[in-house]
Homo-oligomer: A and B are copies of this chain.
Amino acid sequence: MIREKSPSRLDPVAFNDVHFTDTFWAPRIKLVHEQTIPFEYQQCKETGRIDALRLDWKPGQEPEPHIFWESDVAKWLEAASYSLAVHPDPDLDGLVDQVVALLAGAQQPDGYLNVYFTVVEPGRRWTDLRDAHELYCAGHLIEAGVAHFQATGKRQLLNVVRRYADYIATVFGREPDKKQGYGGHEEIELALVKLYRVTGDEKYLRLSQYFVDERGRQPYYFEQEAQERGTPGFFGTIFPERDQEQAKSREYNQSHLPVREQTEAVGHAVRAMYLYCAMADLAREVGDESLAQACERLWQHLTTKRMYLTGGIGSSLSNEGFTSDYDLPNEAAYAETCAAVGLVFWAHRMLHLECDGRYADVLERTLYNGVLSGISLDGKKFFYVNPLASSGNAHRYEWFGCACCPPNIARLLASLGQYVYSQGPSDLVVHLYASGQAQLQVGGQALTIQQSTQYPWDGAVRLAIEQLAEPSAFTVKLRIPGWCREPAVRMNGMEVDVAANLEKGYVAIERTWQASDVIELDLPMDIQRMYAHPAVAADRSCTALQRGPIVYCLEGVDHASASLGELELPLSQPLQATFHPDLLDGVVALHGMALVPNQAAWDGLLYTTSLPQMQETPLTAIPYYAWDNREPGEMRVWIREQRPSL
């Protein structure tokens, strides 16, 4: 039942096979190492998350260990592990070892590893799968164990989480002596696939399959469990309102239907992403076409009906998730950073079910916009929610009581290398463009590829094959981004017919490759005016500016003459793109003229029969990801557009 590797099968590359040398990602990955990871450790330490692992908490003592504290520590460990592989750092390595030792010490004789249910509510292990996040925390620990092993070669944490996973496999399943449940916050499913891949032990794959397949079957486990428990659930004590209105709904945690029958992205957005990741993983590992089809339906629904232009997803605060089709409010957007991170994870997995530019386009859009907005330029402040408009009150914070987002963005950035390429027996695929080197395996041959580009500010990309021992026949597939209207490709200086060689968003060059072969891409970055589906009420009469993969916004600090909502951009107004090396760590900003109403003409008037008189004012748009890094104020992605009459 395990899928055999087929000749056309693509594999992801390891995060540390790719080394960024560009001016966009490399400094950010360094910043994560130098600032974000130490800062997040300090936050974990100060809030009690680290010391809780000593299991010496006594009733009444503050702070009381929290049900999802391990997940924060685990994601920090995962980020720190990736970062160690890219930036060797004995101090951090030692710190990671200390935390690993604490985790090992907190593991119970039977393998169980959860502080809350060991010291705070020791009698209630596995009694609230819906809300108590036990399997979720376990999943993050497993991911951390896998990452720590992959990054450092050390097995201590991997062994700890294997023992935990082995224990979990004795608790859950369809056998009569087991609990036939699954986690209320998906995560362990995708983690078990990772554990299977690194250990080769199929037990973990089977357990992941069980959790995914069991989800949403009737009778509903969470409802039986709540009845048996007779309590409102732990979650209720954290967000009582959310619990009442949302958490009890089946859709909130995607347990409303068996996963293969799900057709719409619903409920809590992060939960949904982690589930869909696992579904894609399993579809790939076991060749399960019905799971792949379910993924494709959910992808299509999400990306054509419920996704922000930034790749942000989950528009509502009330369930931290999805509402209804085309309900994408801008100022009230939730668009949690973790959900955007999860969408990148899922897109990456979809790309390895089928190499289709649709997935990579969303991956790129989300990465450069909805994910990257989550972290400040100094790497030490975070958005939990990522609105697409602000009247001036939305700002990044240093930490959150529910601190899922800061380490999530850190682990994504610290392992970003894995998203650039895929490799296979006969293919080398380039998904993302950024200067750097990569060591890849194609058709059993090792090769080095060198990218040179000013992406995302310029679309000229040079790819050079280096260190290929002997000439070798394979296909290089280069992504032509969906935003690019007139791509050009040259192979060793000769024009390649892009249209003739384009397949699902990738231009394929099949030849016998040798060291010193050079591909040049030109992906002209026009400034594009984007429009949303007419059913998106919040974006009507509006346009958004995009250039290359970067979505732009206006900030109040650049527009003193009027409130941003009063600005109108005429349809015919030309805009210029200019690189400003000193602005926001170096960005291309967009400049032009907009119109603002002449407020003086309205003195003492509230309603009139005269159209507002407009006057010109300079407009400056900056990358959305970089907003709220200067003077606080208004922000807007969608700008009202003045359009000619029919």
Contacts and interface: CB of A to CB of B under 8 A. Distances in A.
Interface in A584-612: 595-597, 599, 602, 604-612
Interface of A: 300, 303-305, 307, 309, 528-537, 540-541, 544, 562-563, 565-566, 568, 570-572, 595-597, 599, 602, 604-612, 614, 640, 642-646
A566 B612 CA distance: 22
Nearest to A563: B535
Q: Can you list the 5 inter-chain pairs with the closest CB atoms, starting with the nearest?
A: A534-B597, A541-B541, A304-B606, A537-B565, A534-B566
Question: How many copies of this protein are present in the complex?
Answer: 2
B531 A611 contact: yes
A177 B12 CA distance: 86
Contacts of A645: 570-572, 642-644
B595 A531 contact: no
B533 A305 contact: no
A361 to B, nearest CB: 11
A607 B541 contact: no
A260 to B, nearest CB: 22
A605 B642 contact: no
A45 to B, nearest CB: 36
Q: Is the interface of A mostly helix, strand, loop or mixed?
A: mixed
A369 B536 CA distance: 29
Nearest to A610: B531
A304 B605 CA distance: 6
11 contacts: A531-B610, A531-B611, A531-B612, A533-B607, A534-B596, A534-B612, A535-B566, A540-B566, A541-B568, A571-B645, A642-B646
Contacts of A305: 606
Nearest to A309: B607
A533 B608 CA distance: 8
Contacts of A309: 607
Contacts of A595: 646
A333 to B, nearest CB: 15
A392 to B, nearest CB: 13
A568 B646 CA distance: 11
Given A536-B606, A644-B644, 12 more contacts: A300-B604, A304-B606, A307-B606, A531-B608, A533-B602, A533-B606, A535-B566, A540-B640, A570-B646, A571-B645, A595-B646, A643-B643
